[in-house]
Amino acid sequence: MEKQLVRRDSLAEQLFNILREELDSGKYEPGQKLMSESAIAQKYDVSRLTVRAAIARLSALDYVETRNGEGSFVKVRDNDKLLQTVSSLVIEPGMLNDVSDFRRLIDTECVRLTILNASADSLQRLSEACDDFSNFIKGISSFDEKTQKTIGDLDYKFHLTICELSGNLLYPLVYKAVQEAIKQQICTNFASRWYYNRVDPSNQEDIDRFRKGHEELLKAIKDRDMVRAKRITALHLNLNVMKLPDNKK
pLDDT tens for 199-218 read 454 555 667 777 888 999 99
On whether both 89 and 150 belong to a single domain, the answer is: yes
Q: What pairs with residue 71 in β-bridges? A: 67
Question: Quick check: is 144 in a domain?
Answer: yes
On whether both 171 and 223 belong to a single domain, the answer is: yes
Quote the pLDDT of residue 118.
95
Quote the pLDDT of residue 246.
45
Quote the pLDDT of residue 100.
83
Q: Which domain holds residue 221?
A: 81-237
Quote the pLDDT of residue 73.
93
On whether both 219 and 195 belong to a single domain, the answer is: yes
Quote the pLDDT of residue 199.
46
On whether both 134 and 171 belong to a single domain, the answer is: yes
On whether both 127 and 171 belong to a single domain, the answer is: yes
Question: Quick check: is 168 in a domain?
Answer: yes
Q: Among 74, 102, 128, which residue terminates a domain?
A: 74
Question: Quick check: is 249 in a domain?
Answer: no
Domain count, the chain: 2
Quote the pLDDT of residue 231.
93
Below-50 pLDDT ranges, the chain: 8, 199, 201, 240-249
Q: Among 74, 105, 124, which residue terminates a domain?
A: 74
Question: Quick check: is 242 in a domain?
Answer: no
Surface-to-core class of residue 129, CB atoms within 10 Å of its CB (0-12 exposed, 13-18 middle, 19+ buried): buried
Rounded to two decimals, what is the model's pTM? 0.63
- Long-range contact list for 162-165, CB < 8 A, 24+ apart? 162/107, 162/110, 162/111, 162/114, 162/126, 162/221, 163/106, 163/107, 163/110, 164/125, 165/110, 165/114, 165/117, 165/118, 165/122, 165/123, 165/125, 165/126
Q: Among 34, 56, 74, which residue terminates a domain?
A: 74
